[in-house]
Structure 1
Amino acid sequence: MFRTRVLLGAGLAIAAAVTLPIINALPAAAVAGRNLPANGKVLFLAGQTTPDLTALKQQVLDVDASFPRPGGVTLYTNISPNACNGLTATCNLNGNVFNFDQTLSEYPGAALAVGLYLADNPGCNNQPLRAIIGRQDADIAGALGQQYRQNLDNLITYLKNTNRAIYLRVGYEFDGPWNCYNTDFYKQAFRVVKQRIDALGATNVATVWQSATYPKDGDAQYKFDFSNPSHLTDWYPGDDVVDWIGMSTFYWDANFRQYQWACDTPTTASPKSLYDRSLTFARAHNKPAMISESTPQGYRTANLDASCTNVNNRVSLNGDWTKIGSWYDQYFSYVNANTDVLRAAAYINSNWEAITQFACPPGATAGSPNCTDGYWGNSRVQDNANIKANFKRELQNSVFVNGTLSGRGANWGGGTVPPTSNPPTSNPPTSPTPSPTGGNPGNRNAFATIEAESYDSQSGTQKVSTSTASGGVEVGYFGNNDWLQYNGVNFGGRNPNMVTFRYSSGRPTNQAFTLEFHAGSATGPVIAAPGLLGTGDWRTYKEISFNVSNLPAGTTTITAVAKVSDSADALDLDWFKFV
């Protein structure tokens, strides 16, 4: 895939808004570095433009106080004498809008990751790098070179005066062929940036050395050779000037060949192998690691479709949000599996199609005048209720700064929540027979376990007796539009955040369906619509927690309705409750 980033790279992240202490001591993990989050936790950041972050605040954080606030935010800037930098006034760079003062005021106490762009625009002359180094080449001798260096000092001083934990990504994605950096100039310039940070006393500013971790080699002559085992070593400016090791994670093995790279041939079979190499490098150098940029490139959360990243050839996902969910599942799984060294993660919560630089109409090819940077799609989590709810639950995990709950608890359609019992070998009968209704009118506690078989009325379902169910009975044979209704569910004066339930399914683990929860009848307002996957056996269970919305406090009727795309039975429901 061809990518060129004219002024900016990608990068965002989400976490919790607290003032982060600057910690230089060694935490529980065997890494050391400036601005390590306390107690071995992972800092989650959000970005990547000021409008992106304002929308996240207004559409998610301001309307849901239980949604963990970002522990940091991500923005971009440059030191080019003839370009705006966005530090104290709004700056529009090819549709990317930045206003550091505005974003910092909207996210009080949050850390700040800064992508410092040091490439030419356009060209591969490495003028910013050569100016930082202080070379006296004809094009930068005198006032122009001095202005570059003064702008660098002005940036560092601004970041110092924020009194925030700062992560300065110096020439981010240094090895991306689209940036066209010269290896030696880059390493020398990185060292000068660190020297100026120290000289100006900016002890709150940590340097981040971020690889593009890109699965396709560029010109090996210029060391854009990701498949080279010594690739990172060739670009490394030194332990004495690097505080953090960074990487980009736009592709995961379950996704990138099916959609994102279906129109191209990578030189690296597994993007994860590049991420692993970065973490191995960080461990070897005793440095903390950061996912500096991440987004499900090529997918649209609002439209549920996907495309190759180098050609806009969108195809529908047929309403199956879990096909995007698998990207998020691998992303959060990777973070959770590597917390010994991976101490920060940034996510790009952006509608790329609304940004001029990343526009790419249907049929356009990366590198063409109307699709310069390839196809990116829309990665805003708030544009899909299922993705937003699971994203929220991931951030509530106590491994993250401001996380307070145990474990991941999300279900992206890949079954991150393990079964609660060992599966017996028998299945229920395949031909349902009529069953009487349950009948438990009266006052039910919404926050206590409600057994599925205690329904007041039903359509199309049947009770199933089994020792693996709570109380020895569950309700099965759910087909499309079959439902269970529960009257008198009492929420008191409290609005619930989530519905939790236990289910099993004889469907394969890659086959999706939905269980909707309605307020009132089966045609009433939908308060939650978790997408589910088969568990592979009727006696293999999963417990799922899913965000609820639009549910008033007080007493109401709750109806659970199955939505299935075929005529076969979908699930057995054991119990549910609200939390």
Structure 2
Amino acid sequence: MVPADGQRYFIVGQDKASIEGYMAESDLPRPAGFTMYTTLSRGEPSYDGSYCFKGLDGLKSVGNYNSNSADGCFDNGYRQNRWGSGEMNIEWLINTYNPQVVSIGLWCPSNDRMPSLYNSGAYDDLLGELADFFQANGDTRFFLRTCYEFNGDAGGWSDVNFRETFKYVRTFMDGRGVDNVAHVWQSDSYHGTGRTTATLGNTEQGYWPGKQYVDWVGSSQFDSDAGEEAAIAEAEGLPHFIAEATPHGALFHQYDFKLPFNSTGSSPDGSVTLHNDLQWFNNKQGEIQRTSTKAWHYINADWSSQPQWANAQDQAGQNYFKYSDTRVQLDSTVKEHFKSLVTEENGFILSE
């Protein structure tokens, strides 16, 4: 599953409408895979409280889950695959596009519930359903980003709870004989991993659970650089996956490719300067093409249309993606630059 040096999977995401919109542009590079999200959270509310997660939401088509209820939910018997950041349906994704690889962001229970996962197996039924899904789709290779952005603001997980959860999920999948999943340890590339960039191997430190549990080192590539994560991957002899990437500047510098090229604009409230240029791509190209980077996921989305980001805190502050639209097909110059970057000649693994 690990590409040769100088090669990397090209992956697109990260919701149904965004993926469909990208794939409708027949002249854009054909991705080797896609990204979507699901959750181990159960009996916990969505960002605005309008929906209660039943567990593994977004994994399958509604109606195909083992259960549509969870203790503590006000809407038991009801399932949906959207909760503010676009529709998720990994089953649909595989059936529609038959990708080589699928990257799954697996959200985890809240910090206070995590110990019940790894101490008493309170989520084993969901992990079993997930393992069955992997084995039923044995021709697909999966990246499983358990508790992705483990050090980010949104999760709020302690290093101990994260380590124990990550180890438990890995051990569970191995025990079920799942052999088409690579386990990705994904930082948010902003808050620090709590471990040295020197070799640690199987020694735990900070959020690091030990190399025996990790197949890939993951990062997020917005404004922050992914140097710490790439250095850890290289020190541990592991591949690096830029698991979430979309153009962004500092906190009040967002990208909107609907603007005329090489121009700026302002958000309606005046708080954010919007840009349409190639600065982000030029700044990040070295990270993208670093030898240890073996997969790159570009989020080709109209963030501004997704209500979850209207008030979400991410990385350095509020409303981080509220006004962003990073769909490369919106601007001809951006689109042509993207096409010239994402090529087999530049080492990207594409589909037919």
Structure 2 length-normalised TM: 0.78
CA–CA separation in structure 2 for the residues paired with 1:293 and 1:93:
19
Q: Tell me which of 329, 344, 357 is aligned to 2:308.
A: 357
The answer on whether the counterparts of 2:11 and 2:34 sit within 8 Å (CA) in structure 1 is yes
Measured against aligned partners, the alpha-carbon deviations of 1:458-485 in whole angstroms (never above 9, x if no partner) come to xxxxxxxxxxxxxxxxxxxxxxxxxxxx
1:383/1:96 Cα in 2 relative to 1: closer, same or farther (>3 Å)? Answer: same
Q: Is 1:71 matched with 2:56?
A: no
CA–CA separation in structure 2 for the residues paired with 1:316 and 1:118:
33
Greater per-residue helix proportion: 2
State the partner residue of 2:15: 49
Q: Is 1:156 matched with 2:131?
A: yes
Q: Tell me which of 302, 305, 314 is aligned to 2:258.
A: 302
What is the aligned residue count? Answer: 303
State the partner residue of 1:180: 156
Between 1:92-101 and 1:345-354, the stretch displaced more is 92-101
State the partner residue of 1:239: 211
Q: Post-superposition shift, 1:366?
A: 5.6
Q: Is 1:207 matched with 2:165?
A: no
Letter of the 1:77 counterpart? T
Measured against aligned partners, the alpha-carbon deviations of 1:330-389 in whole angstroms (never above 9, x if no partner) come to 2223222x12x11011111110111110126xxxx969xxx7665351111111111111
Measured against aligned partners, the alpha-carbon deviations of 1:214-233 in whole angstroms (never above 9, x if no partner) come to 1xx5xxxxxxxx39674994
Measured against aligned partners, the alpha-carbon deviations of 1:299-354 in whole angstroms (never above 9, x if no partner) come to 1111254679xx8623365xxx4xx3010122223222x12x11011111110111
CA–CA separation in structure 1 for the residues paired with 2:12 and 2:321:
22
Q: Post-superposition shift, 1:190?
A: 0.7
3-state DSSP of counterpart to 1:386: helix
Letter of the 2:229 counterpart? S
The answer on whether the counterparts of 1:45 and 1:72 sit within 8 Å (CA) in structure 2 is yes
Give the structure, 1 or 2, with the largest relative contact order (CA under 8 Å, sep 6 or more): 2
Q: Post-superposition shift, 1:57?
A: 1.2
CA–CA separation in structure 2 for the residues paired with 1:188 and 1:103:
30
Q: Post-superposition shift, 1:284?
A: 1.1
The answer on whether the counterparts of 1:299 and 1:306 sit within 8 Å (CA) in structure 2 is no
Q: Tell me which of 86, 99, 102 is aligned to 2:58.
A: 86
State the partner residue of 1:130: 115
State the partner residue of 2:165: 189
1:118/1:49 Cα in 2 relative to 1: closer, same or farther (>3 Å)? Answer: same
The answer on whether the counterparts of 1:160 and 1:205 sit within 8 Å (CA) in structure 2 is no
State the partner residue of 2:46: none
CA–CA separation in structure 2 for the residues paired with 1:387 and 1:236:
37
Q: Is 1:332 matched with 2:285?
A: yes
Q: Post-superposition shift, 1:185?
A: 1.3
1:277/1:133 Cα in 2 relative to 1: closer, same or farther (>3 Å)? Answer: same
3-state DSSP of counterpart to 1:131: helix
Q: Post-superposition shift, 1:186?
A: 0.9
**1:280-295 to 2 correspondences below 5 Å:** 280-295=231-246
Higher CA-based Rg: 1
Q: Post-superposition shift, 1:40?
A: 5.0
1:39/1:176 Cα in 2 relative to 1: closer, same or farther (>3 Å)? Answer: closer
CA–CA separation in structure 2 for the residues paired with 1:228 and 1:207:
19
Letter of the 1:390 counterpart? H
**1:490-501 to 2 correspondences below 5 Å:** none
The answer on whether the counterparts of 2:219 and 2:241 sit within 8 Å (CA) in structure 1 is yes
3-state DSSP of counterpart to 2:172: helix
1:312/1:290 Cα in 2 relative to 1: closer, same or farther (>3 Å)? Answer: farther
Structure 1 length-normalised TM: 0.49
Unpaired runs of 5+ in structure 1? 1-34, 136-144, 218-225, 252-270, 405-579
Q: Post-superposition shift, 1:71?
A: 0.7
Measured against aligned partners, the alpha-carbon deviations of 1:65-122 in whole angstroms (never above 9, x if no partner) come to xx321011000001233425122215011243111122222322331000000043xx
Q: What is the percentage of aligned positions where both structures have the same residue? A: 25
The answer on whether the counterparts of 2:30 and 2:351 sit within 8 Å (CA) in structure 1 is no
Letter of the 1:207 counterpart? H
Over aligned residue pairs, what C-alpha RMSD do you find? 2.7
CA–CA separation in structure 2 for the residues paired with 1:37 and 1:211:
21
CA–CA separation in structure 2 for the residues paired with 1:206 and 1:174:
17
**1:196-275 to 2 correspondences below 5 Å:** 196-214=172-190, 217=191, 226=192, 230=196, 233-251=205-223, 271-272=224-225, 275=226
3-state DSSP of counterpart to 1:98: coil
Q: Post-superposition shift, 1:149?
A: 1.6
3-state DSSP of counterpart to 2:170: helix
CA–CA separation in structure 1 for the residues paired with 2:222 and 2:274:
20
Letter of the 2:119 counterpart? G
**1:107-146 to 2 correspondences below 5 Å:** 107-120=97-110, 124-125=111-112, 127=113, 129-135=114-120, 146=122
CA–CA separation in structure 2 for the residues paired with 1:113 and 1:47:
9
